[in-house]
Structure 1
């Protein structure tokens, strides 16, 4: 059992049997954190189903928004950053609405930097790069993805590095640099193969066919 749930039970018993209700607010804060974690996890599962071709889940956005609200209420900056990242991803990936997504990503970036959460920050930069790419700003898109690659190398998130290299290959191809695109895809393939990231390997092959 999650320690926050155990603590809430202890605080309940202290209030009911011991006559000390002073810890009930603390219990609420802990349970809000549990609820936020659960909402975020359920939202990610819904998003994975969308990526698997199972269609949009009507509850996905609400789960991420609820998680962000609860994390904010308990003062969990790292959690709020991650939840807002997923709110932005929903708007960008599921709805194709970059205009709504970008300000959410920018707020998530501020919070991720404050919390020194380099993983969430790397995801934010990746998706801001996508928005720049769609807008035709290839140089800015490349800068975002390269910074995301740097962060992911620092924390050893190699499948994520490979995914970003695929994005950089598309940018290189769009910028008239086919040799750079091929080199980036070669590195992405090697990293994905080494880490067993089969989904990224499929992305590499799709990119090779297109660029």
Structure 2
């Protein structure tokens, strides 16, 4: 198996037995990339666990920050964009600290745009939209979430687009755009169902129930149909 670990072993043997040290620097860089990728992957796993137990794991942020340092040293702009995004996501989702989160999310968006990374760019847009929504900047939140949903469709991530539409449902309701909210709920539920995104399906149902309740409060007719 000719992977970076095996190449590092061979570089070590050539250096020790033959005195050929020219390959050591390249081996170290390859191992730094492996370490960065592993730190990022482990951090994401810990972040996913947060959604089940809602307990902060301090190692999560440490792993993302370690990945950022390594990617930056390597000059890997796409990797740095992704790890910086996850730092921002940690502060936003786990610690509910928009003051720390938003600058990191903005930095991640800029890095991802420069690196031509549509996945991380769409993730950063989504979470910047969430920050706008929480701050009451509904027009900006709508613009960012709609852009994120479009980009996620373009890269083949329909479940992500449906997740973005959950936020758009609440925004439409807050702006009194009831028909838009119901249409978004119908589309998002169908999309999530088609790709087996059960958590998103539940979120869409909750959002649609919120819309129906708001319509009643505003004298609208309640629609009992499932999304």
**TM-score > 0.5, shorter chain as reference:** yes
Alpha carbons of structure 1 residues 169 and 77: separation in structure 2 relative to 1, 3 Å: same
Q: Establish whether residue 51 from structure 1 lines up as the match of residue 51 from structure 2.
A: yes
Alignment correspondent of 1:84: 84
Write the mapping of 1:82-121 to structure 2, written as runs, cut at 5 A.
Answer: 82-121=82-121
- Total equivalences in the alignment: 211
**Residue of structure 2 in register with 1:35 after alignment:** 35
Who wins on radius of gyration, i.e. which is larger? 2
1:148 equivalent in structure 2: 148
Q: By how many angstroms is 1:53 displaced?
A: 2.0
Q: Secondary structure at the match of 1:188?
A: helix
Between 201-210 and 76-85, the greater mean CA deviation after superposition: 201-210
Superposed displacement of residue 209, structure 1: 2.0
Answer yes or no: is the 8 Å Cα contact 2:169–2:208 preserved in 1: no
Q: 2:33 & 2:5 partners in 1: Cα distance?
A: 10
* 2: CA distance, partners of 1:123 / 1:186: 23
Aligned-partner SS, 2:144: helix
Alignment partner, residue 167 of structure 1: 167
> 2:23 is matched with which residue?
23
CA distance in 2, matches of 1:30, 1:74: 9
User: SS state of the match for residue 22, structure 1?
Assistant: coil
1:187-198 correspondence runs (5 A):
187-198=187-198
Which secondary structure state, in structure 1, belongs to the residue aligned with residue 58 of structure 2?
Answer: coil
Distance 1:87 1:54 in 2: 17
Give per-residue Cα distances to partners, 1:70-119, cap 9 Å, x unaligned: 11111111111110110000000000011111110111111111121111
Counterpart of 1:171 in 2: which secondary structure?
helix
Q: Distance in 2 between matches of 1:129 and 1:163?
A: 12
Q: The residue matched to 1:164 in structure 2 has which SS?
A: helix
2:6 is aligned to 6
The gaps in structure 1 that reach 5 residues or longer are none
How many Å apart are 1:196 and its aligned residue? 0.8
CA distance in structure 2 between the partners assigned to 1:154 and 1:177 by the alignment: 26
TM-score for both structures, normalised by structure 2: 0.90
